[in-house]
Amino acid sequence: MTTRYFGKPIRRNEDPRLLTGQALFTDDVELPGMLHAAFVRSDYAHAWLRGIDTSLARDLPGVVAIYTAADLGDYWQPGPLLVNPPPIKDLVFNTATQVPLARDKVRHAGEPIAIVVAESRYIAEDAVDLIFVDYDPLPAIVHLADALKPDASIIHDDLGTNLNAHVIQEKGNYAAAAAQADLVIKRHFDYDRGTAAAMENRGIVATWDAKSEQLTMWDTTQAPISIRNGLAGMLGLSERQVRVIAPFIGGGFGPKIMMFYPEEVLLSWITMRLNRPVKWIEDRRENFFATTQERGQVHEAEIALTRDGKVLGVKDVFLHDAGAYAPYGLTVPINSQCTLLGQYDVANYYTEFTSVFTNKPIVTPYRGAGRQHGVFVMERLLDFAARELGIDRAEIRRRNFIPPDAFPYSNDIIFQDFAPLVYDSGNYEPALDRVLEMIDYKHFIEVEQPRLRAEGKHVGLGLVTYVEGTGIGPYEGAKVTVEASGRVSVATGIGTQGQGHFTSFAQVVAEQLGVPVENIRLVTGDTSEFYWGAGTFASRGAVVAGNAIHAAAVAVRRKILDKASEELEVDPEDLELVDGVVQVKGVPASAIPLGELARRANPMRGAVKPGSEPGLEATDYFGPERGATASGVHAMIVEVDPETMMVQIKRHVVVHDCGTVINPMILEGQIQGGVAQGLGNAFYEQLHWDDNGQLLNASFMDFLLPTADTVPHVEMDHVVTPSPLNPLGIKGAGEAGAIPVAPLFAQAVEDALIDFDVELNEIPLSPNRLFELVAEARGLHGSES
């Protein structure tokens, strides 16, 4: 009997290295003669640069070089537009991408102006303090609604407007549907900006070897191959001369896939000029400005329903904050548009957004990448509709689910991968039923909640559903090699930031080759190990790279069977791969260890048949036709202290469907982590900007993150609806935990505060904000302070 590896909760291969401090992170890279970089960053959110005086800093002993935009010459170029706008009719799109160092103008606080390279970081930082920048301040655009006012200060003067994009997408005819509706509900929703706050900040070590003409860069990027290709182009090098290594990374969450960050462009260029290695490690305060952010949107939405709760149509018009530059095109707002309808069969949908430039850090996808905004709007609208119509909240959702026989289901609008938004598969009712059972829904609302309320406790329940478009193309690839030692090496181009790739990908290979997972060595994110790929984003690692690895492993399996059938003179059909050997089925005496077979496949003498390849190795690729749609249901029970508005999460239940599961333990970790991040967004985290675009809480002293003592242990179960779009049937899961937490939290807290008659239409909802909202609802308008 063959041992199964796929689908098992196998412990993570990488953990011993991580837990004993042996894993290489970028800051662990120490090279002889290494220099250190620090940046002069703008104090102003919006200002003309009148001059930069570096003379004092240059005189500081230990300072090796200082560069401003003027020193970069022709190398100074705005970054590439990473994602072109999708082919949507009448779409308006104005592009403006980030620059390596600000030249004439700064457009957000923290934008880099000059880079100092010195013998130590201490000296570099001291030198930064000696550089005088002459600013001519301009009014800053901070609030979205101000960006398009006629007298607004213009951020990109060449555009003459702060409009980044305007997009309308339609399915059916909303106006006609609303005219026939029994009930139309309209609301305003506010979803504030957030930062990923990865445990590891960004960092880069770049080194140029003049003798071998090789540039090597360790970079905390989620897309090492794209960075290599881009750098080679900019630096006039062959792609083979550039090696980008994304080693272990302490959390990516999206912002680490920006291209290019100014630091990447600069350090690679500087090491070639100075012929010495250069290191830059982002500090925490820099991270609040220099790393991209996401989330800021303001929605005006309405929903039209029949008396019995059937949704006839939804209309949503929103403003999206692109930040100072928009290198990622429209990915985030398109995701908001395309995720809003969720699991529901809605025939008429009007969605319009306006994306505006603001004097705040750049916006790029961050875990959820716009999806949670859509889910927030839809789930909140359903809550209000349920209340208005006197329908149970689980029931109103059930009545609108897309039925299981309706897949593939088209929403007739264009998704972020430029393909029409078609859900490949789904089966929503079983997940809802399972959640209701796990949280004991009926008992809680009929017995438990009334009993606790009678005791004076403020307890509430939340219940929301969502979908997640995952695993989009273009493609990933992998190379699988059986070594003479019997160990198997696997290389793929995507980077890893803690997802457990070393284990789950090894399981995919183990399943085909019958080799224990611990004998499979995986390399991710090193461009010298695998040449092709796109990157880790959009919950696509397991879907796209996983299937590429599967394809390569299947090819190697075929080679093993062919070679062994030659050696053993039996039909390949009669062979099996078990515990690192290939043998005639049920005849261990006939076994050849895979390492021995690999040696025989790479002979020192004799003839290799023409047309055959040496070794037991294969490279293969996988590109899905379009994204696979994962889905899930979350439920939560909270208790709110009516005095302090502190919220305690009593239970959090998730039933999730991401198709076939490679490793349920890793999947649960992903969801648990996502929930923690979603909870942070919903409750703890808020970036406070003043009217001049100054961030007032750029430290963990003032910016609150959820911690181990506040994040609940998530109770989980899975429903499996395999995706027909890839051989393994996988859907992505990376963002699932984070996406629905905001509406879940709002609904649960609102339910707990039912006596106060407060509606929660914004995120985040800190205790302070809850207190204010309750005071407003009571007509006190915060006078009780």
Angle at 713 between CA 708 and CA 717, to 5 degrees: 150
Smallest distance, other proteins to C-beta of residue 520, A: 46
Smallest distance, other proteins to C-beta of residue 706, A: 20
Residue 52 is a binding residue for other proteins (CB under 8 A) = no
Smallest distance, other proteins to C-beta of residue 578, A: 60
Which residue, 179 or 696, has its beta carbon nearer to other proteins? 696
Distance CA 200, CA 338 (A): 31
Which residue, 625 or 690, has its beta carbon nearer to other proteins? 690
Residue 153 is a binding residue for other proteins (CB under 8 A) = no
- Of residues 585 through 624, those in contact with other proteins by CB under 8 A are none
Distance CA 365, CA 388 (A): 35
Residue 306 is a binding residue for other proteins (CB under 8 A) = no
Strands in 348-357's sheet, in edge-to-edge order, are: 92-93, 163-171, 348-357, 311-323, 297-305, 183-191, 762-763
Please spell the DSSP secondary structure of 159-194, one letter per residue: TTSSEEEEEEEEES-HHHHHHH-SEEEEEEEEE--B
Which residue, 16 or 137, has its beta carbon nearer to other proteins? 137
* Listed ranges 408-416, 451-459, 627-635, 685-693: which one lies at the site for other proteins (CB under 8 A): 685-693
- Of residues 111 through 130, those in contact with other proteins by CB under 8 A are 129
For other proteins, the binding residue among 182, 209, 641, 702 (CB under 8 A) is 702
Smallest distance, other proteins to C-beta of residue 100, A: 21
Neighbours of 666 (CB within 10 A): 22
Residue 699 is a binding residue for other proteins (CB under 8 A) = yes
**Contact flags string 269-288 toward other proteins, x per CB under 8 A:** ----------------x--x
Secondary structure (3-state) at 254? coil
Smallest distance, other proteins to C-beta of residue 129, A: 4
Contact between 206 and 268 under an 8 Å Cβ cutoff? The reply is yes
Residue 56 is a binding residue for other proteins (CB under 8 A) = no
Which residue, 199 or 701, has its beta carbon nearer to other proteins? 701
**What tokens does 160 get?**
């003459």
Size of the site for other proteins (CB under 8 A): 19
* Listed ranges 37-45, 169-177, 358-366, 705-713: which one lies at the site for other proteins (CB under 8 A): 37-45
Smallest distance, other proteins to C-beta of residue 70, A: 21
Residue 386 CA from chain centroid, whole number: 32
Residue 692 is a binding residue for other proteins (CB under 8 A) = yes
- DSSP code at position 394: H
Smallest distance, other proteins to C-beta of residue 500, A: 35
Peptide bond into 357 cis (omega under 30): no
Which residue, 62 or 669, has its beta carbon nearer to other proteins? 62
For other proteins, the binding residue among 697, 717, 767, 775 (CB under 8 A) is 697
* Listed ranges 300-308, 628-636, 686-694, 772-780: which one lies at the site for other proteins (CB under 8 A): 686-694
For other proteins, the binding residue among 278, 698, 746, 760 (CB under 8 A) is 698
Residue 44 is a binding residue for other proteins (CB under 8 A) = yes
Distance CA 338, CA 53 (A): 49
Residue 19 is a binding residue for other proteins (CB under 8 A) = no
- Could you tell me the CA-to-CA distances from 716 to 142, 633, 664 in Å, in that order? 40, 10, 10
* Listed ranges 487-495, 653-661, 691-699, 766-774: which one lies at the site for other proteins (CB under 8 A): 691-699
Pairing status of strand 762-763 against strand 183-191: parallel
Residue 696 is a binding residue for other proteins (CB under 8 A) = yes
Helices in 211-251 by DSSP H: which ranges?
Answer: 224-235
Smallest distance, other proteins to C-beta of residue 440, A: 43
Residue 93 is a binding residue for other proteins (CB under 8 A) = no
Please spell the DSSP secondary structure of 502-529, one letter per residue: HHHHHHHHHHHH---GGGEEEEESBTTT
Please spell the DSSP secondary structure of 676-732, one letter per residue: HHHHIIIII----B-TTS-BS--STTTS----TTTSPPPEEEE-----TTSTT-B--
Smallest distance, other proteins to C-beta of residue 113, A: 12
Computed from CA positions of residues 733, 738, 740, 745, in that sequence, does the dihedral angle turn out positive or negative? positive
Dihedrals φ, ψ of 477, to 5°? -140, 170
* Listed ranges 38-46, 163-171, 408-416, 424-432: which one lies at the site for other proteins (CB under 8 A): 38-46
**Contact flags string 128-147 toward other proteins, x per CB under 8 A:** -x-----x------------
Which residue, 285 or 399, has its beta carbon nearer to other proteins? 285
* Listed ranges 297-305, 466-474, 690-698, 708-716: which one lies at the site for other proteins (CB under 8 A): 690-698
Closest CA to 245 of 542, 523, 548, 541: 523
Residue 694 is a binding residue for other proteins (CB under 8 A) = yes
Contact between 314 and 381 under an 8 Å Cβ cutoff? The reply is yes
Which single residue is written with the structure tokens 């199964």?
A: 4
For residues 57-95, one letter each, b for 16 or more C-beta atoms within 10 angstroms of the residue's C-beta and e for the rest, the string is beebeebbbbbbbeebeebeeebeebbebbebeeeebbb
Residue positions counted in the chain: 785
**Contact flags string 445-474 toward other proteins, x per CB under 8 A:** ------------------------------
Residue 197 is a binding residue for other proteins (CB under 8 A) = no
- Kindly give the interhelix angle for 393-400 and 428-438, rounded to the nearest 10 degrees: 170
Which residue, 125 or 518, has its beta carbon nearer to other proteins? 125
Helices in 501-635 by DSSP H: which ranges?
Answer: 501-513, 546-568, 594-600
Which residue, 505 or 689, has its beta carbon nearer to other proteins? 689
Residue ranges that bind other proteins, judged by CB under 8 A = 43-45, 109, 129, 135, 285, 288, 688, 690, 692, 694-699, 701-702
